[in-house]
Structure 1
Amino acid sequence: MMAGAVKDGQAHLAALDTDRAVFLDGELISRVAEHPAFAESCRAIAGLYDFQAANHELMTFDVGDGRRANRAWQMPRSYSDLVAKRQAMTAWAELHAGFMGRSPDHLACAVSGQLMALELFEEHNPRCAKAYWDYYEWARANDIFLTYVIINPQGDRSRAWGDQAKQISTHIVDEGPDGPTVRGAKMLGTGSIMAEEVFVANLQPLQAGEEDLAISFALPLDTPGIKIVSRKSFEQHAVSPFDNPLSHRFDENDAIIYFDDVTVPWERVFVYRDVDMCRRQFHDTPGHVYQNYQAQVRLVVKLRFLLAVARRLTETIGTLNMVQGKLGELAARVASIEGLLFGMEASGCRMGEYYVPNRHLLYSAQVTTQALYPQLITEIRELAGGGLIMLPSSAADLSSDEVASVLDSTLVSAREGEGAYERMKFLKLAWDAVGSEFASRHTQYEMFYAGAQFVTQGHSFRTYDWEGADRLLEAMLEGNDADWKGR
């Protein structure tokens, strides 16, 4: 982009106008922004950039020389910097009610967080460190939509990653003057259909002897040899914006990314053949904290949206006065997550020159929301009763006078001034949020995007101030000895 320019939606759609190898239902799709399985989701991402272009002060920060970049790329140096970053991410999340879990700000936060500890990469390999910093500056300047694949295929869980049949995970197969060649798959590729580049790393622990798996790099998604195998497109099967208001435009998709003997230029290699550095890349830098901080900012918006759905349901069917206690309980649980978000900001700490959210409060929020999200979905379904079961087949029913008369007499709303159309419109939205196939994917996603529960619980255990708690215990034990020598 030109100096001073801020990326807008047209620029993003232009960046997607390249040949790539996306596979869906056995079909090779090269231009994703034009395909009915992905076009609306691509436009939804473009809408984020249009919002950014119209709200410079809120969404961007000054990087010098008259240039501005999205705040997600910013490395906060103070509490106020962090709050400004959160406000920008909240504004974006509100445009999709938190349903796009891998919006462009997610990876921007992860990469900038990792590079707050640039010295770790320099210790690992000065060439890799320079490559990574140069990539960050380029990606920030061009506001690249970067997704990632950092999980290996599930495979045979009884075997180590390096012992999987045919080494299904992405691994190094050769090394030449231009760079290493990689082969194999990575997951989950969320958002990869509408992203520009893919970042590859290893979040799962590696062990000695698995050096061929130990690599981190970034490449354009139209690189020859990269194959993107998409899951079912909910967007493609959405009847209409009226009938599927969320899945019609916010299906960010998930995909297997397969590298079919792809050579990675050395200037795009950030970690190389060092199994411990693969771990340190996330956990000894603020990278893991910042990528999950963004996820919590987004999730708070999503929880607030679902809470509004819950209340509107009770207003529509006339049970609000009967269930205010239940709604109050749900509101308290959602507010507690928002409180953890504000708390992790206010009690953050400095890491060198940068300001980092409180790790333990972050992981506490993750442990809590992994259980809360499916519980909230279940509570909303219980509040809805049979109202979400007997929904008319589609908006086309409204165009039939005979069917419309039946609907007018049966789809009654307790909300003043609303009739069959308004009730049907809202309940279609509610079903897409809590009961459709799209909604089911989101429940699974929110339960596992940060790892299994034992993983997030482990992070919480590891980062809690046990020593401080134990000092309190010891202080209460001090001086309480019995005057007894024993026999």
Structure 2
Amino acid sequence: MSEASSGTAAGGLVKNGAEHVASVRDGRAVFLDGERVADVSTHPAYRHAVESAGVLYDYQAHSDNLERMTFDVGGGRRINRAWQFPRSYEDLVERRKALVEWAELSCGYLGRSPDHVASSMCGMMMGIEVFENYDVKRAQAFRDWFDYACKNDLFLTYVINNVQGDRSKAFGSQGKGAEDMVARIVDEDASGITIRGAKLFATSAIMANELFVGSGQPLRPGEEHLAFSCALPMGTKGLKMLSRKSFEAHAVSEYDNPLAYRYDENDALVFFDDVKVPWERVFLLRNTDMCRAQLHDTPAHIYQNYQAQIRLSVKLRFLVGLARGIAQTIGTINFPPVVETLGKLASQAALIEGMVFGMEAGGAMRGEYFLPNKHLLYAAQVQSQEMYPQIISTIRELAGGALLMLPSSVRDFANPELADIISLTQISPAMSGEQRVKMLKMTWDAVGSEFASRHLQYEMFYAGAQFVTRGHSYRTYDWDRASGLADRLASKYRLPEFGN
């Protein structure tokens, strides 16, 4: 039993959906369209996303799923397997299967579901010696908070990016008037630190329980005031979330926008308006290298991105299924070029899934814990960043003009005259006109809507720009082994002797 699987927790056997939905009614300060949102669980911009988060917990709490989705932490309490520390290849596979089941509930569209940041925090705990070598007190603060978070099966999100500002300048050198652009330490006393400024990107913060604050971007000497990490409940005084446009709020209906209607996890800028963080919630302080080390010298970065590739493999499977559904819907399924295209799409989806399997099979022990193969992980990120836009573009090509000739909304079916015209014009060899429209509406929400555009941008950049992921791939590849093949071959022959 790992550190994450000891102790007891209050409450029932396992966290369920009703408990989670109730937990977000904490007075959190969310702002949308110039106004503060009173309750994200009932607001038209967020209620279905919050409900979708609740569905995850209801799924794990169902008696048929309990053993697969959760594990025992003692005292009659069970928590999601995302918190489980794998001690073997078999443990890692068991954990991955549970994460796949969660991802399937949203077809992979909840990019920052609860298992994402939980995976990152587990990685930090697996490397707790990095914190201990830095500062024993800060290490204990992280241990205690992690213990609380995992035993209560909290939905965590994080903000580890700084506001872009002027990219030609350092974060701490943006000029006069920009002092509060990036979250910084403005005070420190016996009770804790005070931070002021902004952080990005608080994906799923609207429906999460707590926020981990850190820095995933390099900081320079002189930027120690930007170097800290901590954790805060979403309802903390002074913590303000500026929501981006809600695609859920603009979804016409579930029939018209089935993905945006349920799975718009939202993104927000978080502004810390002189937020007081008690010392028991501060994990590092004024150490720029430790900001890097907590992610990269521990397994945190590996585990958070391993989860992301598991989730993406499900999303790609869904998209490839949509592609085949389009071909069946419009009657091109037996066209040789279409079969060829579908075959390529299937190979692309299988490539990522296969690389996930490879990460596990090629994994190794780090102390007492089993880690996925980090180079295969970063290689998969490089491939998926390029592949996702290609897959979206290919699906659009397969659909052609079919996506442009759809009824304006589900309400058209309520008009008998329009319904007759729809039945006459939405012809499909595989289904009714209503089913055809439904399939194509779903496809548009996945590849062409504003919601779809956000997901395209997310999949291309959530792990950093391409030069970042390619850099990780370069850094973790076994170059000695690769170069050794050429060196050994070259050593077997030499320049021949030439006579005069």
TM range (shorter): over 0.9
Partner of 2:473: 460
Alignment root-mean-square deviation, CA: 1.2
Unpaired runs of 5+ in structure 1? none
What CA distance in whole angstroms lies between the structure 2 residues aligned with 1:479 and 1:154?
A: 53
What CA distance in whole angstroms lies between the structure 2 residues aligned with 1:11 and 1:147?
A: 18
What letter corresponds to residue 369 of structure 1 in structure 2?
S
SS state at 1:32 partner: coil
Is the Cα contact below 8 Å between 1:190 and 1:253 reproduced in 2? yes
Partner of 1:263: 276
Deviates more, 1:67-76 or 1:273-282: 67-76
User: Where does 1:88-107 land on structure 2 (aligned, <5 Å)?
Assistant: 88-107=98-117
Matched, 1:389 2:399: no
Partner of 1:177: 190
Which of 34, 51, 68 is matched with 1:26 structurally?
34
SS state at 2:422 partner: helix
Partner of 2:346: 331
Is the Cα contact below 8 Å between 2:13 and 2:76 reproduced in 1? no
SS state at 1:34 partner: coil
Deviation at 1:2, TM superposition (A): 2.8
Is the Cα contact below 8 Å between 1:3 and 1:66 reproduced in 2? no
| Residue-by-residue CA offset, 1:129-177 (whole Å, 9 max, x unaligned) | 0010111111011011110000000110000111124231111001011
Which of 246, 262, 265 is matched with 1:233 structurally?
246
* Percent identical: 56
Deviates more, 1:332-341 or 1:437-446: 332-341
| Residue-by-residue CA offset, 1:8-57 (whole Å, 9 max, x unaligned) | 00110111111111100001113110111000100000000000101211
What letter corresponds to residue 238 of structure 1 in structure 2?
A
| TM-score normalised by length of structure 2 | 0.95
SS state at 2:310 partner: helix
| Residue-by-residue CA offset, 1:89-148 (whole Å, 9 max, x unaligned) | 100000000001000000100000111111110011111100101111110110111100
Deviation at 1:65, TM superposition (A): 4.0
Partner of 2:135: 125
What letter corresponds to residue 313 of structure 1 in structure 2?
I
Deviation at 1:484, TM superposition (A): 3.7
| Residue-by-residue CA offset, 1:415-460 (whole Å, 9 max, x unaligned) | 0xx2111101111111001100000000000000000000000000
What CA distance in whole angstroms lies between the structure 1 residues aligned with 2:348 and 2:48?
A: 33
SS state at 2:53 partner: helix
User: Where does 1:249-398 land on structure 2 (aligned, <5 Å)?
Assistant: 249-322=262-335, 323-398=338-413
| TM-score normalised by length of structure 1 | 0.98
Is the Cα contact below 8 Å between 1:170 and 1:184 reproduced in 2? yes
What letter corresponds to residue 478 of structure 2 in structure 1?
D
Is the Cα contact below 8 Å between 1:20 and 1:222 reproduced in 2? yes
CA change 1:65–1:317 in 2 (3 A) is same
Count how many residue pairs are aligned between Structure 1 and Structure 2. Answer: 485
What CA distance in whole angstroms lies between the structure 1 residues aligned with 2:393 and 2:405?
A: 18
Matched, 1:246 2:259: yes
Matched, 1:477 2:487: no
What CA distance in whole angstroms lies between the structure 1 residues aligned with 2:293 and 2:268?
A: 26
Unpaired runs of 5+ in structure 2? 1-8
What CA distance in whole angstroms lies between the structure 2 residues aligned with 1:46 and 1:315?
A: 34
Matched, 1:46 2:89: no
Deviation at 1:67, TM superposition (A): 2.9
CA change 1:3–1:26 in 2 (3 A) is closer
What letter corresponds to residue 383 of structure 2 in structure 1?
T
Deviation at 1:481, TM superposition (A): 1.1
CA change 1:303–1:486 in 2 (3 A) is farther
| Residue-by-residue CA offset, 1:377-402 (whole Å, 9 max, x unaligned) | 00000000100011100111111111
Partner of 1:60: 70
Partner of 2:97: 87
CA change 1:464–1:400 in 2 (3 A) is same
What CA distance in whole angstroms lies between the structure 2 residues aligned with 1:482 and 1:252?
A: 64
Deviation at 1:299, TM superposition (A): 0.2
What letter corresponds to residue 384 of structure 2 in structure 1?
T
Is the Cα contact below 8 Å between 1:18 and 1:30 reproduced in 2? no
SS state at 1:320 partner: coil
